Each structure stands twice: as structure tokens, then as C-alpha cells.
Amino acid sequence: MPLSYASLAVVIHSSLYHVGSSHQALRPHSRRVSWWGNPIPVGGVSPHMGKQQRSGETREALLESGSRVFATIPFDKARIADVIEPLGVTQGAFYFHFENKHELALEIIRREHAMMVDLSERVLSSAGGGLAGLHEVSTGLAELVRADVTVQAGLRLTSHTPEEFPEFLGASFTMWNDAIGKFLLRAQGAGEVRSDVEIEAASRFVVATFVGVQEISAIATRWADLDERIREVSSLAIRGIATDEGYEAFTASLSPTAAR
């Protein structure tokens, strides 16, 4: 006997209820798959927030992978495939976050620059200043360069391919010239640096020395000996501009093995 429309509606509603109940029972073991192919656990987070969080994680993973690539491979030879293959994500995932490898590199340089600025500002605002502060920021820089792949990539990108990122190369040197100048000016006011020393020239010399030392260390040991090289050149550079009292105070801030 044919079902009436009302009876058919009851049957459909009942069927949907049982299907929904079965799906709910299986839900704790369910997995959704994101558009870039990674499983997303089903839980208390809304699907929209889950996608946002996963998207942010993918962007950070691309930046870290890109840093590792640019720290070891010349920019013109680096491929997007080199960035995404270790992560197992698609090109679509890459292009969702970055237009091209140049945009990825720009974001890496921005982050490297921000870390450098943060370091110099923290040391300048601390109690230590003058030549001791200059030593502190130098060793902090050495640690950043040696341990942080984003910093390594940013330095390599701006120093090896300046034509690709000219605005950041100039900004980086200007920032460091200004920061080192503040340390030296403070030291001069405290009687640690000779009064006849021209601060701007001295700061340019210190920055150029650091850039050269880290570049040689990168080639020779992948920055493994950068701390030691920084101590060597710092001692020689400071001796040329410091008063006797200033140099004595500076060597006291070094490790016992460095203060000969």
C-alpha cells in the first residue's frame, strides 16, 4: 500500500535521526582532512577556528623550512619545492600564504631584523651600558646568528643577494650603526672611550668588523666558532678607541680566557 506524504515524512525523519545518532557515536574517532591534506582532529574547537589554527601552523612551518633553505642554498637556486617537500604540503598551500619565494624571503628578513632590533633595545635599556653593553650585544648577536636559522637566513639573503632586497640591506646597516653609536657615545660620556674618537666612524668600523667576522665564520665553520672570533676582534677593536680605564673595564666583562 503506498505511503502517504505524512507517513513518508515520518519515515525520513526517523531514518535521519538514527543516522545522526550513529554518526554522533562515532564522532570521537572521526578525522576531518584539511584542504592541504593534513588530518584535523574533531573536538571542541569549531571547524572555522580549527582551520585558522592549522593555517597559522602551516605558515609558521613554511617560514621555518624557508629559513633552512635560504640559510644553505643561494636565493636564485632555491626552489619552492625545496621548501614544501620536507613538510609534505602542496604548492597550493604555499601560494595560499605567499605569492612567491621572494615574498617568503622578505618575511624571513623582517623577522630577522625584528630580532636584531629587539636585542639592541633590550641591552640599551638595561643597567649595563657603554663598552660592557657593547660586549653584551656582540655576544648576544653571536648567539643569535649561531643558533637561530631565521637570523642565518636573513643575513645570508641581505648580504649575498643585496640586489633582491636593497631596502633591508640599507635599513639593517643604518639600524646597527645607530645602535652601536649609542653604546659608544654612552661609553665616551662615562670616560671609557677617548674624547678624540669620532663616534660615527667608530660605529661604522665596529659594524663592518662584525659583518666580516660572521661571514668568515659562516664559511669556515657554519658559525660554530663565532663566539670566539667575536671576542678576538672585540678586544682588538676596543683597545684602539678606549681609555686605559675603559679598556680595563671592558676586559673585565669578558670571560677569563678572553681577558688576557
User: Above pLDDT 70, what percent of the chain?
Assistant: 77
Q: What is the pLDDT of residues 39-48, one digit of tens each?
A: 433 333 334 5
* Topology annotation, domain 108-254: Tetracycline Repressor; domain 2 (1.10.357)
Query: CA 135 to CA 250: how far, in whole Å?
Result: 8
Whole-model pTM: value is 0.72
- Cβ burial of 113 (10 Å; 0-12, 13-18, 19+) is middle
- Please report the sign of the dihedral spanned by the C-alpha atoms of residue 66, residue 68, residue 73, residue 75: positive
How confident is the prediction for the chain on average, in pLDDT?
80
**Strand partners for 40:** 32
Q: What is the pLDDT of residues 92-109, one digit of tens each?
A: 999 999 999 999 999 999
* Domain residue spans of the chain: 108-254
CA distances from 89 to 80, 97, 241 (A): 11, 12, 53
**Average pLDDT, stretch 105-129?**
87
Check if the beta carbon of residue 168 is closer than 8 Å to that of residue 114: no
Query: CA 61 to CA 194: how far, in whole Å?
Result: 49
Residue located via cell numbers 633590550: 122
Query: CA 149 to CA 254: how far, in whole Å?
Result: 26
Check if the beta carbon of residue 135 is closer than 8 Å to that of residue 242: no
- Please report the sign of the dihedral spanned by the C-alpha atoms of residue 124, residue 130, residue 131, residue 132: negative
Q: Indicate whether 90 pLDDT > 70.
A: yes
Q: Quick one: residue 191, left, alpha or beta (phi over 0 = left, psi -120 to 50 = alpha)?
A: left
Q: Indicate whether 120 pLDDT > 70.
A: yes
- In the chain, where does DSSP find H-type helix? 5-26, 47-70, 80-84, 91-97, 101-125, 130-147, 149-160, 166-189, 199-221, 226-239, 244-252
**Average pLDDT, stretch 223-249?**
91
Backbone angles phi, psi at 8, to 5 degrees: -65, -40
| Model pLDDT, residue 255 | 55
Q: What is the DSSP string of 45-108?
A: S-HHHHHHHHHHHHHHHHHHHHHHHHTTS-TTT--HHHHHTTTT--HHHHHHH-SSHHHHHHHH
**Average pLDDT, stretch 63-90?**
97
Residue type, 144: L
Query: CA 73 to CA 31: how far, in whole Å?
Result: 37
Query: CA 34 to CA 55: how far, in whole Å?
Result: 9
**Average pLDDT, stretch 145-149?**
93
